[in-house]
A and B are shown apart, each in its own frame.
Chain A
């Protein structure tokens, strides 16, 4: 018993990304045209799942008040603001992605604004990571990994689809793709992506 207490007092947890063991930051380089695919992990972001009724005006107003951003209510749409990205995952479910240090504040603001409104705010930050993908052959490389027709994935659109035997959320911005993936599948998905991108040349983009 006393041993356990001693160990707990010395316990100082360190937050690590699920791709830590690939040591991607050491492999970073400046993007050039010599490689067709450029990727990097957007490590340790904040992820909040939000559920509610999009037909309820009070719900939409409260979310706008808490975040300053209009909730993307159209199917497969996203809202992008400076420090927050909102993904429409389902008619009554959204994922809010923000810098990790803003996560707790955002959650508090949402919970306060949504008091008395049928809804759910859930911190899922421990469960996800994001991988950014760009380059002139990024689409070709990613198309090897998923059944979704990526040419139908226009900028500012999000889809949940397959990735090998697993699944990912993919959203597209003007200059590339962002894969939002479960932490437990990160190793599998990164290796799969690296293998698919290898023929085009895969570089780890410096942030």
Chain B
């Protein structure tokens, strides 16, 4: 059990109010008709499933019924932050970019 801050309701709410919506920022193939079955299967079913930090979507199901993004640690349920989809995308992209730069 944990508490998620809903950026739309601007309030911390119990996990029970939310519904898990899976890994965030998985790009849907732009042209599904042209995809092979394998590629489409990968898109649908192959998730990162890490032990540790995970970018994921939640639906505030009993509240505003909007989607939000949380960065949650799957090992201990710590939550680094939660944002609207567009705000989260900026934070996520910067994190990816910084990680890339660090390995160069």
Question: Which of B8, B62, B66 is the one whose CB lies under 8 Å from A161?
Answer: B62
Within 8 Å of chain B (Cβ to Cβ): is A76? Answer: yes
Q: How many A-B residue pairs have CB under 8 A?
A: 44
Distance between B68 CB and nearest chain A CB, rounded to angstroms:
11
Instruction: Flag whether A39 is at the interface (Cβ < 8 A).
Output: no
**A89, A90, A148: which contacts B14 (Cβ < 8 A)?**
A148
Among A90, A148, A162, A167, point to the contact of B66 (Cβ < 8 A). Answer: A90
Q: Interface readout for B52-65 with A: 1 if CB under 8 Å, 0 if not?
A: 00000000111111
* Interface residue B76 (Cβ < 8 Å from any Cβ of A): no
Judge whether B17 is part of the interface by a CB distance below 8 angstroms: yes
Whether B72 is near chain A, meaning CB under 8 Å from some CB there, is no
Given known A-B contacts A75-B9, A148-B14, A161 and B63 have beta carbons under 8 A apart:
yes
A161 touches B11 (CB 8 A): no
A162 to B13, CA, bound (A): 11
Q: Would you list which residues of chain B between 1 and 42 have a CB under 8 Å from chain A?
A: 8-11, 13-14, 16-17
Q: Are B17 and A161 in contact (CB under 8 A)?
A: yes
Beta-carbon contact of A75 and B11 below 8 Å: yes
Q: By the criterion of a CB under 8 Å from any partner CB, how many residues of chain B are at the interface?
A: 15
19 further interface pairs, Cβ-Cβ under 8 Å (given A90-B65, A91-B64, A161-B14): A75-B9, A75-B11, A76-B9, A76-B11, A89-B64, A90-B8, A90-B64, A91-B8, A91-B66, A147-B14, A148-B13, A148-B17, A159-B11, A160-B17, A161-B17, A161-B62, A162-B14, A162-B16, A167-B61
Q: Are the C-beta atoms of B61 and A161 separated by less than 8 Å?
A: no
Instruction: Collect the chain A residues with CB atoms within 8 Å of residue B10's CB.
Output: 75-76
18 CB contacts below 8 A, A to B, read A75-B9, A76-B9, A76-B10, A89-B64, A90-B63, A91-B8, A91-B66, A147-B14, A147-B17, A148-B13, A152-B11, A159-B11, A159-B63, A160-B17, A160-B63, A161-B63, A162-B16, A162-B62
A167 to B17 alpha-carbon distance, docked (Å) = 9
Give chain B nearest CB distance to A108 CB in angstroms: 27
Closest 8 pairs (CB-CB, A-B)? A90-B64, A167-B62, A147-B14, A160-B63, A75-B10, A147-B16, A160-B62, A162-B62
- Interface of chain A residues 90 through 106 with chain B (CB within 8 A): 90-91, 93
Query: In the complex, A76 Cα to B12 Cα: how many Å?
Result: 12
**Is the pair A160, B14 in contact by a Cβ cutoff of 8 Å?**
no
**Complex interface: chain A residues within 8 A of B66 (CB):** 90-91
Nearest residue, chain B, Cβ from A166: B62
Residues of A within 8 A of B60 (CB): 160
Measured between beta carbons, the chain A residues less than 8 angstroms from B63 are 90, 159-161
Residues of B within 8 A of A152 (CB): 11
Q: B7 to chain A: closest CB distance in Å?
A: 9
Select the residue from B10, B16, B63, B65 with max chain A CB neighbours within 10 A: B63
